[in-house]
Amino acid sequence: MFLEQFPGEGRQHGWIEVICGSMFSGKTEELIRRMKRAQFANQKLVLFKPIIDDRYHEENVVSHQGTSLKAVPVNDSREILENWKNERVVAIDEAQFFDEGLIDVCNTLAEKGVRVILAGLDMDYLGVPFGPMPQLLSIAEYVTKVHAICVSCGNLAQFSHRTTVEKEQVLVGAVEKYKPLCRACYNKIAH
Ligand code: ZN
């Protein structure tokens, strides 16, 4: 379990946290959990999400468990800085869908004393590292990898297997087209 610290006003150094994993691993649930704890600590916070993800209500980030928080939808990483109003905590969901500029944006915010919390898919449906996630995992102070449960054997799952034939990297609004698999079952089924 990730344990955060809340230093007093004016004493916070910034840092970057990444929550990564496959689909159905609880990434967004963990992001929302950390944000709610920051709210209890009276920290000003803002949550950004890429506009590509419209599978639920436009301005909310909703976990599969149904908990939700209001989010600011942005078109690219630059709009995160433009919409940042000195909040001490900046959360970013679906980080894998952002451009490479997100790495500089996160460093810039952390250097200004902001706690940056990112959640994202570390691999696409082919098992390839997704978008800016590899770099974000490298520059983060804290990395949490969460796991789903393999629907074939019950072991820990890290692959998001696509059950349909589409070949695009991004299929918006298609959660039902994926199932979590462990390495052994993914290799058996996907190849
Ligand atoms: Zn399995």
Query: pLDDT (tens digit, 9 = 90+) per residue, 109-147?
Result: 999 999 999 999 999 999 999 999 999 999 999 999 999
**148 C-alpha vs ligand 1 centroid, how far in Å?**
11
Q: What is the mean pLDDT of residues 161-171?
A: 85
Which domains does the chain carry?
15-147 (3.40.50.300)
Q: What is the mean pLDDT of residues 8-34?
A: 90
Q: Is the pLDDT of residue 44 over 90?
A: yes
**151 C-alpha vs ligand 1 centroid, how far in Å?**
7
Q: Is the pLDDT of residue 186 over 80?
A: yes
Look up 141 and say whether it is catalytic: no
Considering the candidates 94, 100, 168, 176, report the single residue annotated as catalytic.
94
Q: Is the pLDDT of residue 172 over 80?
A: no
* pLDDT at residue 88, as a whole number: 95
Percent of the chain residues topping a pLDDT of 90: 74
Residues 6+ apart with CB under 8 A from 66: none
Q: Is the pLDDT of residue 173 over 70?
A: no
**180 C-alpha vs ligand 1 centroid, how far in Å?**
9
Positive or negative: CA dihedral 28, 163, 123, 98: negative
* Residues in a beta bridge with 61: 69
Q: Is the pLDDT of residue 52 over 70?
A: yes
Q: What is the mean pLDDT of residues 95-114?
A: 97
Q: Is the pLDDT of residue 58 over 60?
A: no
Q: Is the pLDDT of residue 65 over 70?
A: no
The pairing of beta strand 72-74 with beta strand 89-92? unpaired
Q: What share of the chain is helix, strand, coil (3-state, %, to 5)?
A: 25, 25, 45
**183 C-alpha vs ligand 1 centroid, how far in Å?**
7
Q: What is the mean pLDDT of residues 56-85?
A: 82
* pLDDT at residue 76, as a whole number: 96
* pLDDT at residue 69, as a whole number: 81
**118 C-alpha vs ligand 1 centroid, how far in Å?**
27
Lowest mean pLDDT among 8-12, 17-21, 25-29, 136-140: 8-12
